[in-house]
A and B are shown apart, each in its own frame.
Chain A
Amino acid sequence: MNILASLNQIKTYLKGDISPEDFWREMDEKSMSVEHIDTLRERFAHMVIGEVKELKAHPNADKLRIAMTDIGNDVVQIVCGGANLAEGQYVLVALPGAKVRWHGEGEHIELKETAIRGEKSFGMICAPSEVGFEKVPCGEHDIWDLSTFIDCAAGTSFVDALQMDDVMFEIEVTTNRPDAMNIIGLAREAGAALSVDFEMEEVLDIPAAEGEKALNVLVKDDDYCPRYAAVVLDNVTVGPSPRWMQRDLLLAGYRPINSIVDITNWILHTYGQPMHAFDYDKLAGAELCVRFAKKGEKMLALDDEEYALKNDQLVIADANGPVAVAGVMGGKESGTTEATTTVVFEAATFQKTSVRKTARALNLYSQSQSMFEKGLSSELPMHAMKKAVHLAIQLAGARVVSEVYDVRKEAFTPDVKTLQPERVRKLMGVNLSDAQMLEYLTRLGFEVEKAGDDYRVTVPFWRTDIEHDIDFAEEIARLYGYGNIQPRVPAMAPPVRPADKGPMEESRLKQLLMGAGYTEFYSNSMLSELDFIRYRLNPEDAVKLHNPLSSDLTHMRTSLVPSVLLGIALNQRMVPAGRVFELQRVYTPEKNDLPRESTELVVAHYGFNESELAFRQLRGALDLISVRMGLTFDLARFDGDERWHPTQSAVVHFEGKPVGMIGAPHPDILTSFKVEKEVMFLVLDIETLMPHISSALHYDAPPAFPSVERDLTVKISTKKSFDEIEAAVKNIDGLVDSVRFVDDYRAGLDSGMMNLTISISFRADDRTLTSEEVDSVMERIENALRA
């Protein structure tokens, strides 16, 4: 969670000055990540307070006016469209050179002296959002009327007029450290990181009640509300809070509302304890009961939305029903207004998971809720309550008129853990003294006591993140500074153990396919139900997500083919032909166990003209895989099904078992994926093949004598398959080394016949063949094939 922290406010809790640069560097390296720094004197450079002396109509624009504005040393002419502009008003003037965001949007723009519709304008009169104060209430077409907000002369710089000579830091506090998501917590961290003494302010106890207003405080389930404190204050004047408080809130990103609400927000920002203020007179039965919502209960919240509550959601209720969703947001009707005179301050601790689940379920979020869901200490509420009551007395004339109700599950006992200095030294790789370790821990508020070789460490209440002895190692190491530890490459002997075969061989296969000219597809492993149906797969047979992010990513893929077809459909217009592959995991459910993850390979050609050629090229790819991966495949013609083409597909077998398919998908599949191009696939179950994959090398001595090539063309039935011919040719004589397909030609022949050209290679191991020898074998081959 990111916190906007004022350096001035942090410094009020530190003895000794610190520079913004030191704060930034040391915090970033030793405590919390500093995301952004904002020096306000720079941000508000060339911005001054102006007094509007005279307003004139703009001769060329209805919605613009000319404001003659006193900027101290001069009265300048400024063209302005502010609807609420009035003579005598104090306004924020951004002079030429200032950087503003037009209408609070886009990049910062440096102002120049200019003319607007023919009238000179020396700078601009700003709305709050144009200088970064989005939270200041202001009408859409209005400018920021500062008349009641400042008491200084025209010409005073804006930063001085608002007492904002400050440096703001945006700090990212990790979720385990809610104690540092506030000014005091950050000051404590800064004190430790910069070795400057931290000093908590002294807050007096809440004064005794001066009157008696009854309040009935009940906590029904203290597991969900370990502490609930409340006090009634009357004689309250709800008006604007003082300027310093409004300034603090504005800089921290809060919207100033009224003195009472502002106090609770200021406490949240400064102390880190969310608080709530109820209007006492609107609490039916003067009752505050912490309980689960009842069926059918609803509440109109401060965001003006009505929420239907469920019975696992904790609420604060009066005699009539919920007046706040516990830890999340207060109700509109019981909230404080200008008319409120008696308030109830609440400071409580709610169980973090319950707050989180309620907020998610209601889709209702607030600064308080985001603090509670991190887990706050039940010690914190009373510290905050005391300060809040004193502020209310001081700023709103309040009087304490009830006892301080404090319903608590159990008294606080601080956690005690052990610091083992030797262990910390080992883990850091640094020979740090015990004394230095104790110094770091003490600065952070830990109390340390010697216990043998080790130390007993008492954990301060706010450090809800400390769970284990090892946590001290982090506190010590970070304050020592990770940058002070000398890096070393691990010098121990590495373990002797081969890498897992799967990833290793898959990466070899990918390289092989890339070398063969294929481009790798890489798709999301989640598909939609529709994608399964398009490929005639049953989504019921797939791993289904319980909480998918969107309806197009609901099931884990059981095949890569749909992904590849989606990819081809995407590409077919711009890249009309291609050769691609995808080699990834697919997932199949297992009863009462984890899904089975297995690697599949899909190689695809698309956008070709000749199916048989594409098939042969894929078969060639299969041959390449076979050689390089040490696998032997056989093909068996496949008569097609709903996924595969009836006359253009085959099953790939390995050791007699089917391990894949090669061929064209059924045309209906292409149609359902809106693929308009021809496609040919090779699909292999790599997982099954994996144990047999081998990269073992094998050497055959090159033949000592040359081979002789002869071509042969025979007229033959188209039904005769090449492998039959090959076998027949090889069978004729041992001199036949190999038979290659060259071409077939059907034009001008009777249907069912073709002129087949093959090329035959002859070779003997012990001699160079004579052409007479080859001629005689050729003759026998011709006779055999013609027979």
Chain B
Amino acid sequence: MKNELKNLRAEILEAIEGVSDLSGLEDLRVKYLGRKGTLPNLLKGLKGLADDARKEAGAFANEVKLSVDEAFSALQIDLEAKSRAEAFAEAHIDITRPGITPDIGHLHLTTQAIEEIKTIFSRLGFVQVRHPEIDWDHYAFGALNFPEDHPARDDWETFFIDDAGKAAEGENGKIVLTPHTSNGQVREMERSELPIRMMNINKTYRRQVSARHLPMFHQFEGLLIDKDVSIADLLGTFDFFVKQFFGPERKTRLRPHHFRFTEPSFELDVSCDVCAGTGMRENGLKCKLCKVGWLELGGAGMVHPNVLRAGGIDPDVYSGFAFGWGVERTMMMKGGINIPDIRVMYQNDMRFLEQF
């Protein structure tokens, strides 16, 4: 019996030596160790042995079974590892093949800029409102301290609405495509309770077209009216916006300017990012983008007493500031977007739109 066991062990160990895959190993396991396999068959003979002999053969049989099991499981582990490695090799991915971009949509650059500007000002308590894009010239001009004969009210600067060949007229004067979002100022004063912090973002229209000017563009208007509002408040608001929108390293300044509806009036400058506000490039040449380190962002001013009065507000009690600038211009100044001809903005070329 013992010899038979020895021989069987030798046979099994030799047999599994030649096995190269898991299914071959499984076949051998069934053949030798399965319910009807060689080893269990052999062990059935134990019953017929005498007690002592059975005891001895039993112990040896156990030893044989253990060693064979061990050999089987050792090889099992090896073969599993090998098969896994083959499967991995099979699953090899070429990581250099181009990506497949998720099929998302794109918001227009102007929409994106409006969202960003709006978000920053809303943090200062400005709420977005909507006022007409096509409005009475009273709101676009008259209430904003523009005299009747001001050139901006001429046919060649502002679009007027037609009525049977004549400029349409009603109770509040002619009807214009608003050349600025400032028509919202007096409208807001008329409808709102004080104090006011509003932003009016809208389409605006001027009779111009070139690589840098479009007949339709967008303006962003901010209006704050409260007691004791000063230039310092405007400066602080402007500075807050610039540092949020353009970056904390950017500086701001006001320069004197002239607008009919503000007094004093300013132009708002932002330090140039290309030359870091120095006006000179690293190569020693003058910076071509800016004016001595400054870029012009837009206009602003302290609301003119005549405008407050037009909106039914007592200028002896309240004061305020207003600012307005071009959305497209502000966006382009942010850098990184180099659009040589602004006319591409509203032509809907998908190859343009899908870049943003």
Contact = CB atoms under 8 A, between A and B. Distances in A.
Interface of A: 24, 28-33, 35, 174-177, 352-353, 356-357, 360, 373, 426-430, 465, 468, 470-471, 473-474, 477-478, 482-483, 485-490, 492, 494-495, 497-500, 502-504, 507, 510-511, 513-526, 543-550, 553, 556, 563, 566-567, 570-571, 574-575, 578-581, 585, 587, 592-595, 597
B270 to A, nearest CB: 14
Contacts of B215: 524, 526, 549, 553
Interface in B261-299: 263-267, 291-292
11 contacts: A428-B232, A430-B232, A473-B264, A482-B231, A494-B195, A503-B201, A543-B161, A547-B159, A549-B208, A566-B348, A594-B132
A546 B235 contact: no
B239 A31 contact: no
Interface of B is mostly: mixed
B353 interface: yes
Nearest to A478: B256
Interface stretch (B38-46, B85-93, B147-155): B147-155
Interface stretch (B52-60, B68-76, B162-170): B162-170
Contacts of B126: 494
B350 A518 contact: no
B20 interface: no
Interface in B219-252: 224, 226-233, 235-240, 252
B177 interface: yes
Given A489-B240, A545-B162, A546-B161, A494 B228 contact: no
Contacts of B129: 499-500, 503
Contacts of B180: none
B94 interface: no
Contacts of A517: 103-105
A390 B3 CA distance: 145
A519 B256 contact: no
B263 A470 contact: yes
Given A427-B302, A503-B201, A515-B105, A523 B228 contact: no
A403 B265 CA distance: 45
Contacts, number: 255
Given A490-B224, A490-B229, A498-B127, A522 B110 contact: yes
Given A494-B195, A580-B350, 12 more contacts: A427-B302, A489-B233, A500-B128, A500-B130, A510-B111, A517-B105, A525-B133, A544-B162, A546-B166, A585-B203, A592-B170, A594-B135
B341 interface: no
A429 B166 CA distance: 48
Contacts of A485: 231-232, 235
Interface of B: 103-108, 110-111, 114-115, 122, 124-130, 132-136, 149, 151, 154-156, 159-163, 166-168, 170, 175, 177, 192-197, 201, 203, 207-209, 215-216, 224, 226-233, 235-240, 252-258, 263-267, 291-292, 302, 304-306, 319, 345-351, 353-354
Contact of A426 (B114, B177, B228): B228
B305 A468 contact: yes
B326 to A, nearest CB: 15
B239 A487 contact: yes
Contacts of A353: 149
A494 B124 contact: yes
Contacts of B175: 594-595
Contacts of B228: 426
B133 A585 contact: yes
A515 B106 CA distance: 8
A490 B161 contact: no
B210 to A, nearest CB: 11
A499 B258 contact: no
B345 A574 contact: no
A595 B170 CA distance: 12
B258 A546 contact: no
A264 B127 CA distance: 55
A35 B134 contact: no
Contact of B160 (A175, A470, A520, A545): A545
Contacts of B263: 468, 470-471, 473-474
B47 to A, nearest CB: 50
Contacts of B127: 495, 497-500
Given A360-B154, A470-B263, A28 B255 contact: yes
Given A478-B256, A494-B125, A487 B232 contact: yes
Given A521-B348, A544-B162, A489 B302 contact: no
A567 B348 contact: yes
A545 B130 contact: no
Contact of B134 (A357, A430, A581, A597): A597
B134 A594 contact: yes
Given A482-B253, A494-B124, A520 B231 contact: no
A595 B177 CA distance: 11
Contact of B124 (A356, A471, A489): A489
Given A485-B232, A519-B106, A520-B353, A470 B239 contact: no
B319 to A, nearest CB: 6
B305 A474 contact: no
B130 A33 contact: no
A665 B104 CA distance: 25
Rank and list the top 8 A-B pairs by shortest CB-CB distance, nearest first: A494-B125, A429-B230, A429-B232, A474-B264, A567-B348, A487-B235, A174-B258, A546-B162
A546 B106 contact: no
B167 A546 contact: yes
A482 B254 contact: yes
B253 A426 contact: no
Given A482-B254, A553-B215, A594 B136 contact: yes
A522 B154 contact: no
B235 A545 contact: no
A522 B236 contact: no
A497 B350 contact: no
A106 to B, nearest CB: 15
A553 to B, nearest CB: 6
Nearest to A476: B264
Contacts of B347: 523, 567, 570
Contact of B235 (A482, A523, A574, A579): A482
Contacts of A489: 124, 233, 236-237, 240
Contact of B207 (A514, A525, A547, A597): A547
B232 A486 contact: yes
B197 A549 contact: no
Interface centre among A497, A548, A567, A571 (most CB of B within 10 A): A497
A474 B265 contact: yes
A477 B231 CA distance: 9
B345 A514 contact: no
Given A471-B263, A482-B266, A490-B233, A518 B105 contact: yes
Contacts of B105: 513-520, 579, 581
A614 to B, nearest CB: 15
Contacts of A482: 231, 235, 253-256, 266
